[in-house]
Amino acid sequence: MASYIEDYALLSDMNTGALVSRAGSIDWFCAPRFDSGAVFAALLGERDNGRWLLAPLESMNPTPVEEIRIERSYRENTFVLQTVWSVGDASVRVTDFMPLAAGTSIVRNVEGLTGEVTMYNEIAMRFDNGKTQPWVTRYDGAPDANGNTNPEESMLVGMAGPHALVFRGDAMPDGEPDQHAGTFTVTAGQNYVFTLSYFASNQNPPAPIDYPTALNYAQEQWREWSGLYVDEVPETPEAPAEVPAVEENTHYGDGEDVDTNRIAQVEAPATDVSVDSNSIAVTREVETEVLEPSTNTTSFEIDAATYEEFAQTSVNPIVEQEEDDAAFEAELREARLRSLLVLRAMISRETGGLVASVTTSLPEVLGGKRNWDHRFAWLRDVAMAMDVTLAHGHERETAQLRNWLLRALANNPYNLHAVYGVAGEKDDLDRRLALAGYEGAQPVRSGNGSHSYFQGDALGQVLATFANLRRHGVGEDHLSWPLQQALLNSAVEKIGSEDRSIWEMAGEPHIFTHSQAMLWAAFDAGVTAVTEHGMTGDAQAWAEARDRVAEEILERGYNEELNSFVQTYDGVHVDASLLQLAQIGFVAWDDPRMVGTVERIEDELMHESGLIYRYINRDSIDGFEGQDNPHFGASLWLAEQYLRSGRAEDGKRVLRTVLALSNDLGLLSASYDFEAQRMTGNFPHIIPHIALIRAVEAV
């Protein structure tokens, strides 16, 4: 079985990602793109569905002879993972990363620190999400004049149809039909480097990777991104208290000024830097897992069941503690920076598309059916991410996201989809994969059926973000404004339309207040484009549409008796999407109607932990039985609302809870199961990380 979700670390090359468990197993890796078929799919199945395990042999002993300690961290401001294994008095450091260069590869380096440790190395190559077992051939290199081969030229090549993998290493594992495995012993000062690279089977295997060069460049590129970190982002301007006379959208704070001459720059500069291989920069308090030694000192064999039990051992308990202000501020800064790095990790440097997650079908409820493929790009997510990259001075990434957005919209702005492929393509299929599922959760999906759902929030978010770009001096071009005009014209026909909400509920459609409010934001963006930025268009018609939507929201989406906005027109319940009404400037953060809405959200949606559910699943409104788990992203929206409306301590309390529940590397999934004390949903998930950035900036 796979490890707990929170026990995974993310590796990324900004085109795809891999998940490494605390137990040393890479259980998920899609190549060459985020949405490609998985090469390692043990996360959603069994070890036979593909994985790469690299760990001390002793860690798989049913009764370890020596005490085993595990400490891991990312090198400062990077996605270079370092795991220190201590086996008794001996120790090794495993460095895992994905090179940020041409091709798709994973590099793993084992460095002896003290004493002597025997390592176990097992790789099971697969393609097509664990379904296809490739034909694997070992090549030992050309013999020299004396007939000897160079062990450094040895490689394993696995091939099946269009796909191929090449594995190289300083200690090659032995071959079996379905996997290759072996052991090697590392002493202090020794290094063993292993690489796995994907390539098209009609091409020759790529050249061997030079470990120091690849590591140096990867670290430099991650730090170049985090080096643009803007510590202080100016506060978001307050929205007018009256509706519909709102002149400016307040969803977006004014960030650093943007050099519009650089907005089209997309290539990262190559920089030579030196790396101190002995330096371990810990960016987060390290959590340590200890396996106690056994009194049984007899020899042992690898026990798969015991290893899987070890892989399932979580070391992330719920923490309840109050930090002093200085320590809390440092923790917030670190969390925001890691979230910014997660954002960069999930933007394709090839296409500019932002995926919601690197995984599919990790269940929102353990053992349940709320399982979705989030390796796709939602218009809403891309637009929200663009606001963040713009505010933090990341002009290159802002340009990438903007250009992706335009290409996706060009599919047909009059028939807007909520979600597109990594390159902006439509994906009309929702397939089922023949995998056992994470802890048996079914179905396992490839593809996302929500493409066909109209979502008013997507349309509004996109147009509001383009308004934000204009406020920062980013001009329109021959493509961008005509597409926005088409969206605005199509939005007129959507006033009062039913949809499935921001949550993509599979039940019956309704007129959701949040969706209509996002249409209001779209029309408001169109009006300001004409009146403040000199764009062409029918500002009067859009202003009339904006005011009409506002009036309908106040008449049918606001319940005076409850003093609260409501989830659906003429309804009496709330959902977490209503927290965005202040974010988009429909009402002020401290408007009495917004304050009343927050009170209803606290009454209806709040878990005893202080986190909130997205909605209460009354009458199976989402198409499923039962209730899902408290949602990290929605809870962080509540934290921001608290902070910006004067309830600072309440906001900080929610932030403390979320940070305590993030994993030891600062990563968040979609939701949290408090009964099981485990993360749930796809991992890592972009919405909580974007919401965390916003909430921290409100402190």
Domain ranges of the chain: 5-225, 332-698
The residue with tokens 């549409």 is 545
pLDDT computed for residue 435 by the predictor: 96
Give the pLDDT confidence score for residue 663 in this predicted structure. 98
Model pTM? Answer: 0.89
The structure tokens 């036979």 sit at 48
pLDDT band at residue 292 under the 50/70/90 scheme: low
Average pLDDT rounded to a whole number, residues 641-655? 98
Task: Quote the pLDDT of residue 177.
Answer: 74
Range with lowest mean pLDDT among 98-102, 311-315, 404-408, 529-533: 311-315
Fold exhibited by the domain 332-698: Glycosyltransferase (1.50.10)
pLDDT of residue 287: 45
% pLDDT > 90, the chain: 75
The confidence score (pLDDT) of residue 265 equals 30
**How many of the other CB atoms lie within 10 Å of CB of 690?**
22
Q: pLDDT > 70: what percent of the chain?
A: 84
Report phi then psi at 609, rounded to 5: -75, -15
Mean predicted lDDT score pLDDT of the chain = 87
For the residues 543-554, what does the mean pLDDT come to?
98
Average pLDDT over residues 524-537: 96
Degrees, nearest 5: CA angle 663-577-623: 85
Q: What is the model's pLDDT at position 685?
A: 98
Section 423-440 average pLDDT: 88
The helix/strand/coil state of 156 is strand
Q: Out of 2.70.98.40, 2.40.50.100, 2.70.98.50, 3.40.50.1950, which CATH number does the structure's domain 5-225 have?
A: 2.70.98.40
The one-character DSSP state at 596 is H
Rounded distance between C-alpha atoms, residue 462 and residue 465, angstroms: 5
Alpha helices, DSSP H, located in 63-139 = none
Residue 293: per-residue pLDDT: 53
Task: Please give the pLDDT value at position 448.
Answer: 80
Per DSSP, the residues of 639-682 read HHHHHHTT-HHHHHHHHHHHHHHS-TTS---SEEETTTTEEESS
- Residue pLDDT, tens place only, 212-221: 999 999 999 9
Beta-bridge partners for 512: 568
Q: Please state the rounded mean pLDDT for residues 491-515.
A: 92
Report the pLDDT value the prediction gives residue 472, as an integer from 0 to 100.
Answer: 93
Residue 258 burial (CB count, 10 A) = 20
Q: How far is CA 256 from CA 71, 226, 250, 278, 389, in A?
A: 37, 15, 16, 36, 10
What is the chain's percent helix, strand, coil content, to nearest 5? Answer: 35, 20, 45
Q: What pLDDT is stored for residue 428 in this prediction?
A: 62
Say what the pLDDT of residue 259 is: 39
Mean pLDDT of 235-243: 40
Least confidently predicted of 41-45, 65-69, 225-229: 225-229
